Amino acid sequence: MPDAPGLELIAHEINSRHEGAIVGTAFEHGQAVLLADPGLIRETLGFLRDEPAHAYRFLASVHGADYLPAAPRFAVHYELLNMPRVERLRVKALLADPGDDGLPELDSVVDLFPTADFQEREAHDFFGIVFRGHPDLRRILMPEDYVGWPQRRDFPIGGEPVIFTATEDTVPGWTR
């Protein structure tokens, strides 16, 4: 892990190359997080990958997340890893919810990190995040005709109510 000052240096370096690409840093529990501007995510990740001083060449994972009450609602986390130095760095891009009239959009990084293919599809499947430029952005785990983004926080968990003796008269669909 880069330490806290190192993280600031990285942020500064990216910002000097791509104006406004990094909007903040966080260092908690020994884990370094760069808060990136979603519009410049490709530049940020490309810089971290290709710059010899950083060389985060391995993308371990892409997580989608939904912070519902918070204002930029969605986030995509890129878990970067530099194998020789064993340093992990998380890049987080916060995406606002466009509401009913659209889906949050972000540039795909599949050409930079081919491993992001399935993982971006997964984030798309569960959170409805559209990765612009993804070669094959379809649902991956849910049935292809499924409607809704099931892991958003405002999506109901679903399932069936459990019927106990006390509730068997009130549970819908069940009569004695």
Partner 1 sequence: MEVERTKLRGLSPLDRPRSPAELRVRQLRARDMLRGDLEGADLDEYVESRVLTTTLERAQSWARGNSLFPATFGLACCAIEMMSMVSARYDTSRFGAEVFRASPRQADMLILSGRVSIKMAPVVRRIYDQMLEPKWVLSMGACSSSGGMFANYAVVQGADKFLPVDIHIPGCPPRPEALIYGILKLQRKVFGDPDLGWRERYRAGGTEEGRRPWKAGALPVERVGSAPAAGIVTGHGQPGAAQLDAPVGHPQLTGHEARDAYEEAEEDEPAAGPRPAVGWRDDA
Partner 2 sequence: MNPTTRAPDYADTVRTPEELGRDAIGRTEAQVIGTSPIERTAIEREEELFTINMGPHHPATHGVLRLLVSLEGEVVRDLKPVMGYVHTGIEKSCEDKSYWKAIPFIERMDYLAYYSNMAAFCGAAETLLDLEIPPRAAWLRILHLELNRIHSHLVGLGTSALDLGAISMFWYCFRERDTILDLFEMSSGQRMHTRYFQVGGVAEDIPVGFARKVREFCALMPGRIAEYEALLDHNEIFLQRMKDVGIVPRERLLELGVTGPLLRAAGEPWDLRKVEHALPYADFEFDVPIGTVGDNWDRYRVRLAEMRESVRIIEQAVDGLPEGSWIADERHVVLPPRHELATSMEALIQHFKLVTEGFRVPPGEAYFPVEGPRGEYGVFLVADGSAKPARVHMRDPSFVNLQALREMCVGGYVADLIANLAMLDPILGGIDR
Nearest distance from residue 174's CB to partner 1, in Å?
7
Q: Is 40 in the site for partner 2 (CB under 8 A)?
A: no
Q: Judged by CB, which is closer to partner 2: 19, or 50?
A: 50
Cα–Cα nearest to 10, from 41, 44, 39, 40: 44
C-alpha gyration radius of the chain: 20
Distance CA 120, CA 110 (A): 8
Q: Is 153 in the site for partner 2 (CB under 8 A)?
A: yes
For residue 173, what are the CA distances in angstroms to 159, 160, 161?
14, 11, 10
Helix (H) / strand (E) containing 34: strand 31-36
162 binds, among partner 2, partner 1, none (CB under 5 to 8 A by kind): partner 1
Q: Which of 28, 145, 154, 160 binds partner 2 (CB under 8 A)?
A: 28
Q: Is 143 in the site for partner 2 (CB under 8 A)?
A: yes
Q: How far is CA 94 from the centre of its chain?
A: 8
**Residue ranges in 92-131 that form contacts with partner 2 under rule CB under 8 A:** 113-115, 117-119, 122, 126
The residues, any chain, with a CB within 8 Å of residue 164's CB and separated by 6 or more, are: none
Tell me which long-range contacts 81-87 makes (C-beta under 8 A, separation of at least 24): 81/56, 82/54, 82/55, 82/56, 82/57, 82/58, 83/57, 83/58, 84/55, 87/1, 87/2, 87/56
By CB under 8 A, how many residues form the interface with partner 2? 40
Q: Judged by CB, which is closer to partner 2: 16, or 147?
A: 147
Q: Judged by CB, which is closer to partner 1: 30, or 158?
A: 158
Residues of this chain that bind partner 1 (CB under 8 A): 141-143, 145-148, 150, 155-160, 162, 173-175
In the complex, the residues that contact partner 2 under the rule CB under 8 A are 28-31, 33, 57-61, 63-67, 77, 79, 83, 86, 88, 90, 113-115, 117-119, 122, 126, 139-143, 150-151, 153, 155, 157-158
